[in-house]
Amino acid sequence: MGQNDIMSTAEDFADQFLRVTKQYLPHVARLCLISTFLEDGIRMWFQWSEQRDYIDGTWNCGYFLASIFVFINLFGQLSGCILVLSRNFVQYACFGLFGIIALQTIAYSILWDLKFLMRNLALGGGLLLLLAESRSEGKSMFAGVPTMRESSPKQYMQLGGRVLLVLMFMTLLHFDMNFFSILQNIVGTALIILVAIGFKTKLAALTLVIWLFGINIYFNAFWTIPAYKPMHDFLKYDFFQTMSVIGGLLLVVALGPGGVSMDEKKKEW
C-alpha cells in the first residue's frame, strides 16, 4: 500500500468517524473543554481556606480581598460552565472564563512559568474555538438566507484558536536522545504544524486527540496517588487542563479549520 493510499484510508476513517459522531461530538468537545474550569471551581469550594490563605500569603492583601478572589474564581468558573453546557449566553461565558484565566495567570505567578503560561494560552485557544462555534450557532437561524463568505472575525477566531492549541504540545516535547522521544517529537511536531496551518486539519486534530488522550491517561493518572499528597493535586490540574485542550481539538474536528486555512484555500484552486 502506497503513501497516498494510507493517507486516503486515514482520511476516510476520519470522515466516517465524524459522520457517526456528528450529533454528539460538539457536546463531548464542550464538556471536555470546560472540564478544567469545572474541576477548579469545585476545588475552590472544598479548598476555600487553603486558597484564601495562599493568596493572602503571596500578595499580603488581607483575608477579605483573598476571599473575594476565591469567590470570583468559584462563581465565575461554575456559572461559566453551566452557561456553556446549557448553550445560554455562551459568548458572555467565554469572556468571563477568559477573565478567570487572566486573573489566575497573575495571581498564581503563572506569567513567569513558561510551561504553565503556554498551557493557559492553549486553554484560551479552546475558548476562542468555542466562541467561533457560538457564532456559527447564532447564524444557523438564517440558514436559508444567502450570505457573503464566512465572517472574518469567526475565521480569525478559528485560526487563533488552532495556533494557541498547539502550544500545549510544545510543553510535551522531550529533548532526550532515545528513539521513542525522537519519534514522538517528529510526529507530534508534524501534526501540530498541520493543525496550525489548517492542512488535513480534521485528520491531524483527531490523531492529536488520540495521542494526547493516551499521554494524559499515562502520565497524569492522579487517581493512583493518595489525595493527601501534593502530587495528586498537581497531576489532577494537569489532567483536566489537557482534557480541555482535547475538547478544543475535538471542536476543530467537528467544525473544521475555518476560512483561514490551507484546506479552505484548496477549494479555490
The predicted-structure confidence for 110-124, as pLDDT tens digits, reads as follows 888 888 889 899 999
Asked if the structure places residue 233 within a domain, the reply is yes
* Rounded CA separation 204/201 (Å): 5
Q: How far apart are CA 206 and CA 157, in angstroms?
A: 20
pLDDT at 5: 65
On whether residue 12 sits in a domain, the answer given is: no
Identify the weakest region by mean pLDDT among 78-82, 134-138, 196-200, 228-232.
134-138
Number of domains in the chain: 1
Tell me the three state secondary structure of residue 55: helix
- Dihedral (Cα; 225, 120, 248, 221), 10-degree rounding: -10
pLDDT in tens, 36-69: 999 999 999 999 999 999 999 999 999 999 999 9
Q: Say yes or no to pLDDT of 141 above 60.
A: no
User: The domain containing residue 173 runs over which residues?
Assistant: 19-137+153-261
- Res 130: pLDDT: 92
1 within a domain of the structure (yes/no):
no
| CA 54 from centre of chain | 27
- Bigger pLDDT: 267 vs 259: 259
pTM to 2 decimal places:
0.85
Query: Is 5 domain-assigned?
Result: no
C-alpha cell at 83: 452557561
pLDDT at 54: 93
The angle at the Cα of 91, spanning 85 to 95, to the nearest 5 degrees, equals: 105
Cβ contact 81:38 at 8 Å: yes
DSSP 3-state assignment of 236?
helix
Does 267 reside within a domain?
Answer: no
User: Which residue, chain included where needed, has cell 471542536?
Assistant: 251
Residue 167 within any structural domain of the chain: yes
pLDDT > 90 fraction of the chain, expressed in percent and rounded:
43
What number is the average pLDDT over the span 216-229? 91
**199 contacts 262 by C-beta, under 8 angstroms:** yes
When the pLDDT of each residue in the chain is averaged and rounded to a whole number, the result is 85
Nearest partner of 124 among 84, 89, 82, 168, judged by Cα: 168
Is the residue at 142 inside a domain?
no
Question: Could you report the per-residue pLDDT of 155-169, keeping only the tens digit for each?
Answer: 888 889 998 988 877
Span 212-237, mean pLDDT? 90
212: number of CA atoms within 13 Å, CB side? Answer: 32
Is residue 212 a part of any domain in this protein?
yes
The sign of the CA dihedral 237, 238, 239, 242 is positive
Identify the three-state secondary structure at position 259.
Answer: coil
